[in-house]
């Protein structure tokens, strides 16, 4: 096996290091079965959520990340968004909002 550094500066996370070493990303059999069950279930709606996402999920996610007693939550200073492409869309969204609000300090979890 190749020796690859998984340090924060290497650009590799655990999955990408594994994929690089064995030349394939491991997907568990149970994940493949679950995906197939969902794909074959014609009663399920398979559309993306709206940009606002699910209100309960948003609220609970913020509480999980920041703590239910967080001053930011209590003072209504927290916002959440759903993104399709993960970190890239989150970065663009945060940068746009910072420019719009002339923000100097933003905490992203």
Q: pLDDT tens across 58-69, in order?
A: 899 899 999 999
Domain ranges of the chain: 1-46, 55-101
Alpha helices in 1-109 (DSSP H): 14-22, 29-40, 55-66, 71-74, 87-101
Query: What six digits make up the tokens of 81?
Result: 């968004």
Question: pLDDT tens, 99-109?
Answer: 777 766 655 55
CA atoms of 109 and 107, how far apart (whole Å) = 7
Token representation of residue 84: 């399709």
Does 14 have pLDDT greater than 70? Answer: no
What global pTM score does this model have?
0.44
Query: Burial letters for 19-35: b for 16+ Cβ neighbours within 10 Å, e otherwise?
Result: eeeeeeeeeeeeeeeee
Check the CA dihedral 96-100-102-105 and report its sign.
Answer: negative
């Amino acid at each position: 096996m190749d020796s690859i550094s998984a340090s924060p500066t290497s650009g590799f996370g655990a999955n990408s290091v594994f994929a690089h070493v064995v030349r394939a990303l491991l997907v568990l059999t149970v994940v493949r079965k679950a995906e197939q069950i969902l794909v074959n279930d014609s009663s399920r709606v398979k559309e993306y959520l709206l940009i606002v996402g699910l209100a309960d999920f948003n609220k609970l996610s913020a509480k999980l990340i920041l703590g239910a007693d967080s001053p930011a939550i209590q003072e209504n200073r927290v916002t959440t968004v759903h993104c399709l492409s993960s970190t890239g869309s989150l970065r663009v969204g945060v940068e746009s909002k910072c420019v719009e609000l002339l923000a100097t300090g933003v905490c992203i979890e």
